[in-house]
Structure 1
Amino acid sequence: MSQTITFLTPDSLAFPSINYALAEPNGLLAIGGDLTSERLITAYSNGIFPWYGEDEPIMWWSPHPRAIIDTSEIRINRTLRKVINRQQFKVTINQAFEQVIALCADAPFRNEDTWIVSDMVNAYNALHKKGYAHSCEVWEDEKLVGGLYGVAINGYFSGESMFYSSPNASKVALALFVQLLRQQGVTFIDCQITNPFLESMGCKEISRDLFSQIREQMKTIALPQHFWATRQISD
Structure 2
Amino acid sequence: MTRDGNEVKRRALTPQILLRAYAAGIFPMADDANDPEIFWVQPEMRGVIPLDAFHVPKSLAKRVRQAPYDIRFNTAFRAVIAACAETTETRERTWINWPIRELYCQLHEMGHAHSVEAWEDDQLVGGLYGVSLGRAFFGESMFSRKTDASKICLVHLVERLKERGFILLDTQFTTDHLKRFGAIDVPHEEYEDMLAEALIGEAKFG
User: % of aligned pairs identical?
Assistant: 33
Instruction: Decide whether the 8 Å contact of 1:34 with 1:58 is kept in 2.
Output: no
The aligned residue for residue 91 of structure 2 is 110
1:140 CA displacement: 1.8
- Deviation of 1:154 after TM superposition, in Å, equals 2.1
How many residues align? The count is: 203
Q: Against the structure 1 CA distance between its residues 107 and 82, is the aligned structure 2 distance closer, same or farther, given a 3 Å change threshold?
A: farther
What are the ranges of 5 or more consecutive residues in structure 2 without an aligned counterpart? Answer: none
Bigger radius of gyration among the two: 1
Give the match for residue 120 of structure 1: 100
The answer to whether the 8 A contact 1:47-1:212 is kept is: yes
TM-score, normalized by length of structure 2? Answer: 0.91
Rounded to whole Å, the distance in 2 between the matches of 1:23 and 1:43 is 15
Q: Within 1, Cα distance between the matches of 2:13 and 2:178?
A: 27
Counterpart of 1:37 in structure 2 is: 15
Per-residue CA deviations over 1:160-187 (Å, capped at 9, x if unaligned) read: 1000011111111111111111123323
Is 1:82 aligned with 2:90?
A: no
Q: Where in structure 1 are there 5+ consecutive unaligned residues?
A: 1-5, 7-20, 229-235
CA contact (8 A) 1:104 1:161 kept: yes
Measure the CA separation in 2 of the matches of 1:55 and 1:183. Answer: 38
Name the counterpart of 1:97: 77
Residue of structure 2 equivalent to 1:15: none
Q: Which residue of 2 aligns with 1:191?
A: 171
**In structure 1, the residue corresponding to 2:137 is in which secondary structure?**
strand
**Which of the numbers 13, 16, 30 marks the counterpart of 1:52?**
30
**Superposition deviation, residue 22 in structure 1:** 6.5
Give me the TM-score of the superposition, normalised by structure 1: 0.80
Distance 1:219 1:29 in 2: 26
Is 1:48–1:61's contact at 8 Å kept on the other side of the alignment? Answer: yes
